[in-house]
Copies of this chain bind each other. A is one copy, B any other.
Amino acid sequence: MTFTQDFVKGKSYHAWLPYKKMTDGTISQAFHLENSQGMESLILQTARQELTQGIQTLLGKVQDTTISIPLILGTISDAKLIKGQLDEGELLQALQKDGYLIQSVGNGEEKKIYLIGNSEKGTLYATFHFLRLLQTGENLENIKIVENPRNEIRMINQWDNMDGSIERGYSGDSIFYENNKFTKNLDRVRDYARLLASVGINSISINNVNVFEVETKLITSEFLPGVAKVADIFRLYGITTFLSINYASPIEIGGLETADPLDEEVKHWWNEKVEEIYQYIPDFGGFVVKADSEHRPGPFTYGRNHVDGANVLAEALQPYGGLVMWRCFVYNCLQDWRDRSTDRARAAYDHFIEHDGKFLPNVILQVKNGPMDFQVREPISPLFGAMEQTNQVLEVQIAQEYTGQQIDLCYLIPQWKEVLDFDTYAKGKGSEVKKIVDGSLFQNKHSGIVAVSNIGNDNNWTGHNLAQANLYGFGRLIWNPELSSEEITKEWVQLTFGHDSQVVDTVMEMLLSSWRIYENYTSPLGIGWMINPNHHYGPNVDGYEYSVWGTYHFADRDGIGVDRTVKSGTGYAGQYFSPNSDMYESLETCPDELLLFFHHVPYTHKLKSGETVIQHIYNTHFEGYDQAVGLKEKWSTLKGKVDSEVFNNVQLRLDRQIANAREWKDQVNTYFFRKSGIPDELGRKIY
């Protein structure tokens, strides 16, 4: 392992990992790895390297070993390591899959610190945790930390294409591919693996869910050697590699005349294909599948359903322990805007609910957090909890497709917290989404959380330096959904910027307020979609209003919103369990922030806040713009206190955010003033 390129590439490249000697007194002790020999496992070797390198980086290469505390690194299965020091029985009970213990034993010169994983992956996670403790200056006296991940599958989806582009990528090109080949130098993939493993990610799919011509061949002998190389790198960091597949592969690369999942030849073809893949990658994770969605092929073509479609793949993968991640993002994307009876929000539930219990055990339905598509605000997908006998994972999007594209600051941990904490009432009170996707509520065989990546080959990975926090926070949150947004944010800020309290407070405040700020100046009250079509940046109030995408606000001179009630609308509200269904159904109890998602109301409708809808639109848009300006004012106070490259990166993006917020404010306000004719109560400038 060499860090040369990291140092050349500077602080931004290193993100939250140890980057240079900490000279601010945060670390008052020295450490050394006592048992550096005998670690045969690749992952344990990685852990050892990360630990020694991390300590050297943070403490400086020359350490006074006379006062250095020994670190014992290993797994619970290495009994002699812990014998007489730790209680093996207690450990066996406390540590679950991928879990670990960090514990100090003895005092004074006898003191040692144990980093013990339930498995080698656990040991690696313990290592990164220990380094984090050093960086954040935690007290290591009598430390005893037991950690177990709440979610089995902790996964990243890359939407990378082999031409090097990234669908919805906002930070350069792919680190995996260029010119329809794998990149020659995979150092950057390794550095990415470090970042992911350091926050507990254990799975990755390495190509876009929209699988086009070249990418279809990733599961052929032309590209499988390349996939295997990438998988070798991720394996070092305990990360399992998946591929997105083209459902029409049996035709396109198999030479068959059909991809009908019930066709015997097709079944046979998939069986052989999977066997071939596992010859290259013995621990291959499985397939991510976008089928019958947005013009991608799928079982519907052959008169089959999603169960048929997924199970044929699952059967092929089952002998090897592989999984099928079957995406539920299925809707009519050629809707007629004149048709008010079709409701895209209903689609995933309507498509899948009847299939509960029919999928094979190694099929997992991958469900986006909301029923539409990663809008700044939408309700939680009613599919969560509705399919008791079916594995479900939650899919969120770290890439800021609709939330500012890593130009605007939009820290999404608070949004995901709301998703995870949402009580579905699937089994009565206490049926939060987090208990469904972690498998505990229904004891599902597989469970977890998946996110669309926000990284590319920009030097700082994420375009906007502060967008690194979304990647970091995603990993930390899905490891432990009970962590608060504040805890996660503070960790990231300290790891990234150190301990200056002004810096910490300012950046935390900026991050934690940013989602609401973005919501304020964009589309109001949960209605969504007032964004430029195709590229999804900047305002366009009617941009999706007369489109085929099922994305409408129905604003007229009197009011706005989509009636999704059972009583008079599309009935979408009825897809929730009671009392959520009743809460959304009723204008009185529907939360303000989702009002227009569920109800069509006059502009003069009074919100719970006491404002009318129209005044709320004006107020939030003026406020959101002022807040964007405020973000820059806050950041400006940090000049000289943060790395200048990072400072400039954020400063320039805040300028662009302010320009964007101004467009949103003025276009949205003007649009609704022209339509409603109702002036702003405060007489502010509307065009």
Is B687's CB under 8 angstroms from A338's CB? yes
By a CB distance below 8 angstroms, the chain B residues around A541 are 542
Query: A546 to B674, alpha carbons, bound, how many Å?
Result: 13
Is A582 an interface residue when CB atoms closer than 8 A count as contact? no
Is A295 an interface residue when CB atoms closer than 8 A count as contact? no
Residues 201-231 of chain A, each 1 if its beta carbon lies under 8 Å from chain B, else 0: 0000000000000000000000000000000
Is A487 an interface residue when CB atoms closer than 8 A count as contact? no
Query: How far apart are A621's CB and chain B's nearest CB, in angstroms?
Result: 14
Is A558 an interface residue when CB atoms closer than 8 A count as contact? yes
Is A257 an interface residue when CB atoms closer than 8 A count as contact? no
B-facing residues in A553-572 (Cβ within 8 Å)? 555-558
- Additional pairs, 17, CB under 8 Å, beyond known A546-B667, A557-B557: A337-B687, A338-B666, A338-B687, A540-B542, A540-B546, A541-B542, A542-B542, A542-B671, A546-B663, A546-B666, A556-B673, A556-B675, A556-B677, A557-B674, A557-B675, A674-B675, A675-B675
By a CB distance below 8 angstroms, the chain B residues around A666 are 338, 546
Is B546's CB under 8 angstroms from A677's CB? no
Is A36 an interface residue when CB atoms closer than 8 A count as contact? no
Is B558's CB under 8 angstroms from A677's CB? yes
Of B546, B556, B667, B673, which one neighbours A539 at CB under 8 angstroms?
Answer: B546
Is A546's CB under 8 angstroms from B675's CB? no
Query: A670 to B666, alpha carbons, bound, how many Å?
Result: 24
By a CB distance below 8 angstroms, the chain B residues around A670 are 546
Is A649 an interface residue when CB atoms closer than 8 A count as contact? no
Query: How far apart are A666's CB and chain B's nearest CB, in angstroms?
Result: 6
By a CB distance below 8 angstroms, the chain B residues around A667 are 546
Query: How far apart are A521's CB and chain B's nearest CB, in angstroms?
Result: 15
Size category of the A interface is: 20 to 34
Residues 75-89 of chain A, each 1 if its beta carbon lies under 8 Å from chain B, else 0: 000000000000000
Query: A337 to B687, alpha carbons, bound, how many Å?
Result: 9
Closest chain B residue, CB of each to CB of A667: B546
Can you list 8 A-B pairs with a CB-CB distance of less than 8 A?
A539-B546, A542-B671, A546-B663, A546-B666, A555-B674, A557-B674, A557-B676, A558-B677
By a beta-carbon cutoff of 8 Å, the part of chain A in contact with chain B is 337-338, 539-542, 546, 555-558, 663, 666-667, 670-671, 673-677, 687
Question: How many subunits of this chain does the assembly comprise?
Answer: 2
Given A542-B542, A546-B667, answer yes or no on A556-B338 (Cβ-Cβ < 8 Å): no
Query: How far apart are A346's CB and chain B's nearest CB, in angstroms?
Result: 20
Given A542-B541, A667-B546, answer yes or no on A674-B556 (Cβ-Cβ < 8 Å): yes
Secondary structure of the A contact surface, majority rule: loop
Query: A556 to B556, alpha carbons, bound, how many Å?
Result: 11
Query: How far apart are A661's CB and chain B's nearest CB, in angstroms?
Result: 14
Query: A675 to B554, alpha carbons, bound, how many Å?
Result: 11
By a CB distance below 8 angstroms, the chain B residues around A671 are 542
Is B542's CB under 8 angstroms from A677's CB? no
Query: How far apart are A3's CB and chain B's nearest CB, in angstroms?
Result: 41
Is B338's CB under 8 angstroms from A557's CB? no
Closest chain B residue, CB of each to CB of A339: B687
By a CB distance below 8 angstroms, the chain B residues around A558 are 677
Query: A185 to B667, alpha carbons, bound, how many Å?
Result: 52
By a CB distance below 8 angstroms, the chain B residues around A555 are 674
Query: A677 to B558, alpha carbons, bound, how many Å?
Result: 8
Query: How far apart are A571's CB and chain B's nearest CB, in angstroms?
Result: 20
Closest chain B residue, CB of each to CB of A554: B674
By a CB distance below 8 angstroms, the chain B residues around A540 are 542, 546
Query: A557 to B667, alpha carbons, bound, how many Å?
Result: 16
Query: A671 to B539, alpha carbons, bound, how many Å?
Result: 18
Query: How far apart are A108's CB and chain B's nearest CB, in angstroms?
Result: 70
Of B337, B546, B677, which one neighbours A557 at CB under 8 angstroms?
Answer: B677
Residue among A539, A555, A674, A676 having the largest count of chain B Cβ atoms under 10 Å: A674
Closest chain B residue, CB of each to CB of A663: B546
Query: A557 to B675, alpha carbons, bound, how many Å?
Result: 5
Query: How far apart are A418's CB and chain B's nearest CB, in angstroms?
Result: 31
By a CB distance below 8 angstroms, the chain B residues around A556 are 673-675, 677
